Amino acid sequence: MKPQGISSLVDQQQLSEKTQIEPFSCNLKYRLTQNPNVARVRAIDATMQMLRKRLGCTLTKPYSTWIHNNFSQVIETLDEIKFYPYPPKIQQKLDHLKEKNAKVTEKYLLDQKRESQAKKVPEKPQESPQQNNVDLTRLPLRDQHPGVVTWAKIAGHNWWPAMIIDYRDCCMREPSFGCQWIMWYGDYKLSEVHHQLFLRFEKGIEKLRDYINNTKKHAYLVGVLQASKDHCSRFGCATDDWTLADAFKYFSQANRPARQDPPRKGDSVKIYDKYSTHIVKKLNELKNNPNIDDQRADDIKSSDDLRSVISGQTPLESLCLKCLKTPKDATEAHPFFEGSLCKDCSEQYKPCMFVFGNDAKCFYCTVCASSGTVIICDNEDCPRVYCTACMKHLLCPTTYDEVLQEDPWECFLCKSSSGSSSSTVVKPRPSWKDKIIDMFRTNCNSKVRVTEHSDVKRKIRVLSLFDGLSTGLLVLQKLSLVVDVYYASEIDSDALMVSASHFGDRIVQLGDVRDITKEKIKEIGPIDLLIGGSPCNDLSLANPARLGLYDPRGTGVLFFEYCRIMKLVKRINSGRRLFWMYENVASMPSEYRLEINKHLGQEPDVIDSADFSPQHRLRLYWHNLPIEPHFLSFQGEQDVQEFLTPHCQRYALVKKIRTVTTKVNSLKQGKLALKPILMKDESDSLWITELEEIFGFPRHYTDVKNLSATKRQRLIGKSWSVQTLTAILRPLCPFFECNSIDTN
């Protein structure tokens, strides 16, 4: 593109690999008269309007005829027309791209510095005064709380005073793994800084005293003074009339009081409890003007179908809230808000609703599943976020500015019980908890919940297929259910060894699931509980080489073994009630899920283990147990830090880890695949004993037969979450005999 010229109309299908730009006049008639797509129509219209304004002619259609009538003799001169200064829209877009590029460049330079630091790992002396001094100067991760005044650094710049900010308080996305959001004193801009690039404020001001005295940067000096005031005011100092000389005098006092951390207010969700008055003022200015997603805002404003809904001509339930069109084909209800999702949008929307960050907040907008600048519900138990475009134009068009000022702010779903504003275009569903489960069902009335139970309690007889580490038996014991007999089908030798070491002959092994015959079922029957989850690697979208449900070379066909055995058990039981549960991965294609629905005659419940443990592990559960997922007793307050080995100076960089699989790298977090633990200022992986506790197993549960850490992780990665399975099977307690000890 010419830097000061008109954009060339480029038909990419007509161009060779070496020809990406052609003069505007080249092949012009063909390109103006062909049947282009919508984006090219808009581009052509904008270009013609620019020509009209420059040449002062009346514009008519078709454009090719207009150009021929006015410029047939001098058409080549069109290539020489230049527009500078740029038109307002072009200039606005260039400014936006320049700002975006500056942020990307800054992040790239920081990443490059981290990589270079990682490659240069000097051999550490066992003990040295210099090393101790570094430890005292740096601000350790455990002290990096919102509201702490510190010194921070990014590549190419000097140390600069800053305050650590919670990303929810500055309308920014969750920081990258291992980083913190900070607000610089002086210019009050926001940056993302790695946790290793912070200094204690009192140590940093001593280290940088000469630089501060000699610098001519006015913003820097103003920032240092304000940071000093904010820092010292928390220790009871009257700093209103301070100058830099007063700050230096305070920090140079040999007999000044020993540092005492002020009372922590970081647990409060109110920004005026976490930050100084000066920073709160700057944060409120940011919250008043968050970035609006231009593309989503334009889609909302240009939607004719949405205007038809607002005017009352079309019912809201017929409008797809993602593409903002009224589809002619069948739709399904939007799970959270009144409205629908067309087939294509539904397939894009569903996976986005279960992509959570390290703080258990969703990455995508609850209305349209878009990313970018989002506004986050301050309710700790609510994972929902909302893009600024949907907030401003759909959810609270008349109260948008007031909503941004609310602190703390509870979202529309948390407030749905108390009603919503009449000015809201899109309203939350009162029954959204049911709808989110129904997203994975094709027949919402298919669930038959068992509620009645006999006064005579018998011991439970269990058959566990694909038994793994015998998680089922461990859970039944935790629930104090008296197990009459526990039959298991498993072929992994390491898993069998772990089960045998803990349960011995309390488990009756049946071998390969494919070898369980009708005669064997007659021999072991009747069965009260049938559980199992066949291998998911050939069903998961994460595996591009998956073989699916029917390929005999894969493990997906093992699902049909579960179906076969369930039918045999029902026949042998002769009317005796059979509880059953089948589990598999949630990220399977819809056709697999619908096929499983058909064979099991049931729809799945979607349950995430993050509600019960510090791990995101989203799974589908088909069952006939007397439960509703949103009535389960959640324990969402658990995080990784609670399960780390004590007394070892281990600190978790995440609250909840992503799904652990059989792959070693699944223990690493984020796009950069970094280790989630900091131990003595060095990155470290989760220890296997800690991973066992995160899954709900006792420590050293898999520590048998001198198994390697890799093999132990592989066994755990294929297992169920003990905490989740405990919540699911707990409703069985009224139906069967329990030990006298009440475990509740």
Active site amino acids: 536
Is the preceding omega at residue 3 within 30 degrees of 0, hence cis?
no
Contact status, residue 483 vs residue 477, Cβ threshold 8 Å: yes
| Closest of 206, 269, 259, 204 to residue 236, by C-alpha | 259
283/275 Cα distance (integer angstroms): 9
* Tokens, residue 240: 């209103």
Contact status, residue 702 vs residue 500, Cβ threshold 8 Å: no
Q: Is the dihedral of CA 210, 214, 219, 225 positive or negative?
A: positive
Instruction: Read off φ and ψ for residue 637, nearest 5 degrees.
Output: -75, -10
Q: Is the dihedral of CA 528, 530, 743, 619 positive or negative?
A: negative
* Tokens, residue 446: 């298919």
* Tokens, residue 588: 């399977």
Contact status, residue 606 vs residue 629, Cβ threshold 8 Å: yes
| Closest of 685, 692, 678, 689 to residue 615, by C-alpha | 692
DSSP string computed for 385-435:
EEEHHHIIIII-TTTHHHHHH-SS---TTTSGGG---TT-SS-B-TTHHHH
Q: Which residues pair with 317 in a beta bridge?
A: none
Residues 6+ away with beta carbon under 8 Å from 25: 75, 76, 78, 79
| Closest of 741, 697, 723 to residue 481, by C-alpha | 741
**CA Rg, the chain, in Å?**
31
606/335 Cα distance (integer angstroms): 13
Three-class SS state of 585: strand
Element (H, E) at 105: helix 88-119
Q: Which residues pair with 622 in a beta bridge?
A: 582
Is the preceding omega at residue 589 within 30 degrees of 0, hence cis?
no
